[in-house]
Amino acid sequence: NAGVTQTPKFRILKIGQSMTLQCTQDMNHNYMYWYRQDPGMGLKLIYYSVGAGITDKGEVPNGYNVSRSTTEDFPLRLELAAPSQTSVYFCASSYSSGGANHEQYFGPGTRLTVT
């Protein structure tokens, strides 16, 4: 199993440009998440999905969009990039049939700089 994979690893965008961060998991997990981690800070939840076709906002959704057409893929779209979106983005997944034991598996991250 490759686990959770993310592409690209690094990207530099100009203000106003758009891009899609790709995330794929091969563990058949039903839950998927997008976080951002600013330098020296913890994780902030951007969007999450509880299954294919279902997505919902997290703590900091503004400026982002997601879709979940398959169990495996959960791309994050940045529209009109702004310097405030400079961060490291992590995708994660977890599986649960109920209850609270949602240990998450993380991808290696995408380091994005907006200038």
CB of 15 to another protein, least distance (A): 26
**Closer residue to another protein in complex, CB, 81/92:** 92
For binding to another protein (CB under 8 A), which residues are involved? 4, 31, 33, 41-43, 45, 48, 50, 58, 90, 92, 94, 96, 98-109
Q: Which is nearer to another protein, 14 or 103 (CB)?
A: 103
Nearest one of 90, 86, 85 to 108, comparing CA atoms = 90
For the chain, helix (H) and strand (E) counts, in that order, are 0, 11
Record the tokens describing residue 8, joined without a space.
Answer: 């690209």
Q: What is the largest CA-CA distance in the chain?
A: 43
Least CB distance from residue 107 to another protein, whole Å?
5
